[in-house]
Structure 1
Amino acid sequence: MVSTLVNSKNGHLAFKIFDFEGQGHFDHIHRNNYYSLIFLKQGKGSLKADFASYDLKDGSVFAFSPYQPFMFAAEDGIKGLAIQFHPDFFCIHKHQNEVACNGVLFNNIYEPPFITVSATQEQQLYPVIEQLRSETKNTAIAQYELLLAHLKILLIYLSRIKIEQQPDLQKNTGDNDPPFILQHLKNAIEHHFRTKHSASDYASILHISPKALGRITKAYFNKTLTALISERIIIEAKRELYLTSKTVKEIAFELGYEDEYYFSRFFKTNADVSPQIYRESVGFAAGEQ
């Protein structure tokens, strides 16, 4: 069953909810220009997202941002449902204070892009999903407003579950304890990603060898340190491209790249599209409207 709403101004997808079953769904790399929430009811295999791979588990909910690459390599048929929405329909950057899902469900480079929900949590989530499904078929007054309200509730519920499941990296404070180092690494990346782009920069800040820091990063984040840094830069670039009317050159300079063309190549390598195409397909200057 598929329910779709289309943006009447440009003909692009606004909101979509559908059930899926079988091998043919998400079995190749997806780089969509909208957000995706995928509820896996049944399936075994692996998820490949960005630079990492994870095991599939029944009852998982996956959250992917625009142009974030992902695919499922299922051992047998998978079954579930998906909710997809364009940033023009609901922008998590603009509504961060309302739903607090940016950096939790979406655009979180430090945690896997999924959560596992319990039977009790499913009883809370699925009635909201059914309300979304029902409202997509209802052409009565204020349809979009009700859809947005239900979507916000769903995102809040999912964000709460994700926060409950995130490990507390600050419990241990020994200087040689990996969680302690990782918390300092996260703080360093958030503070310096606009000016420091190499793994050795962060190893120097943390007073640890690049090789040792790389091993710890790979073990805990399932990503290389270089990939982690690149993802953080790309997330900020996407935010600026979507929310502002700054030129690519201005955005590149603010992110520590003096050469606009080098930055554009870096962006395309990591996002699979150029900054210009990303802006055209996702949105433009939404924060200034």
Structure 2
Amino acid sequence: MARAPETLYDPRNGDLSLKVTDWTLALDAEAPTRTNYFTIYWVRSGSGTFWADSGSYPFTAPALLFFVPYQYVRFAPTGPVEGVGVQFHANFLCIETYHEEVGCNGVLFNDLYGAPVVGLDGRHDREVGDLIGHIRRELTEGGLAHAEALLSYLKVFLIRATRLKRDQQGAAREAPAGRFPPDLTALRDLIETHYRKWHAPAEYAEALQADPKGLGKAVKAHLGKTLTELIRDRILKHAKWDLLHTLKPVKQVAHELGYTDELYFSRLFKRATGHSPAFFREYETAIRGGKNLSMPLPLPSIPLPPSDAQNIRSPAKES
């Protein structure tokens, strides 16, 4: 797998913590850059398949697609695709901090057991267009309470999308063809309980008294990824949280996730994010000014610049 090109948000370079751009995708398009923004693509026309890390998912316009920071993303469109990209960094809105208020963490973003896609009907497609239009105008025109207005529009956008996805998940569970098999429901519960110690698919198959190959096929059919990839994604979700929000040494994070070899864990993390655990923590801590950590930590030596009018500064509490 070729390494994706990379563009990381850095306020020290004057980068905006929230931006909206037109998005097009041709048949021969390269993969989008790996970024540390939360990214939403509003697909207005076109269809195809996309990969979010190892998971593959179909999409057809109109739809919303959701991607987390440092994720490897690529597309295989069936024809030209057009839409709009909305990107925001945790400096603007940290969805983990606002989980209860916005509710999108684990539904739109970081949903290991579902597709990061929300289909849109005509009414919801128009509503998405209106909200993105409000954000674009506010970014262009500014004015009184500029950051607060942008934050409000983005929150409404995420809340509407979260409600819509939950409705769609509920409808899918009611349809016989879309029901989550009992084995996969039990598998999800086992992974959430044992991912720190059980890293091999065979351990889960044994606990479920299931045929390993059959279980693997069911995971692939319903979740778009292999069981090995699903377990790995859960481990990495935990690792990212610890590295961002605690002062635990990398060796301790690895050990608590069942890895006695810190170097092996670091290679696993770098394959998934493009960076070592140490860089991931140090870089994000620097650009967030240390507000992501649960206790004080000597920050990297490169200071953040004073507040700049070009940078969107949000009143939101950062993670």
Shift of 1:231: 0.6
Partner of 2:47: 44
Pairs aligned (count): 280
- For the 8 Å contact 2:24–2:80, the answer to whether it is kept is yes
Partner of 2:68: 65
Higher relative contact order (CA 8 A, sep 6+): 2
Shift of 1:272: 2.3
CA root-mean-square deviation: 2.5
Give the aligned residue type for 2:294: E
Indicate the larger mover: 227-236 or 203-212. Answer: 203-212
Is 1:282 matched with 2:288? no
CA distance 1:178–1:203, shift in 2 (3 Å): farther
Of 256, 262, 265, the residue aligned with 2:267 is 265
**% identical equivalent positions:** 36
Shift of 1:288: 2.3
Is 1:159 matched with 2:162? yes
Distance, in Å, in 1 between the alignment partners of 2:23 and 2:222 is: 32
CA distance 1:142–1:241, shift in 2 (3 Å): farther
SS in 2 for 1:137: helix
- For the 8 Å contact 1:33–1:281, the answer to whether it is kept is no
Is 1:94 matched with 2:97? yes
- For the 8 Å contact 1:43–1:79, the answer to whether it is kept is yes
- For the 8 Å contact 1:49–1:69, the answer to whether it is kept is yes
Shift of 1:131: 1.4
Post-superposition, which runs of at least 4 consecutive aligned residues in structure 1 deviate over 6 A?
A: 168-172
Structure 1: 5+ residue stretches without partners = 1-5
Structure 2: 5+ residue stretches without partners = 1-8, 296-319
SS in 2 for 1:150: helix
Distance, in Å, in 1 between the alignment partners of 2:231 and 2:291 is: 25
Shift of 1:46: 2.1
Shift of 1:96: 0.7
CA distance 1:116–1:27, shift in 2 (3 Å): farther
CA distance 1:156–1:90, shift in 2 (3 Å): same
TM-score between both structures, scaled by the size of structure 2: 0.80
Partner of 2:6: none
Shift of 1:281: 3.8
Q: What do residues 118-141 of structure 1 show as CA deviations (whole Å, max 9, x unaligned)? A: 111123322221111111123324
TM-score between both structures, scaled by the size of structure 1: 0.88
Give the aligned residue type for 2:23: F
Indicate the larger mover: 113-122 or 278-287. Answer: 278-287
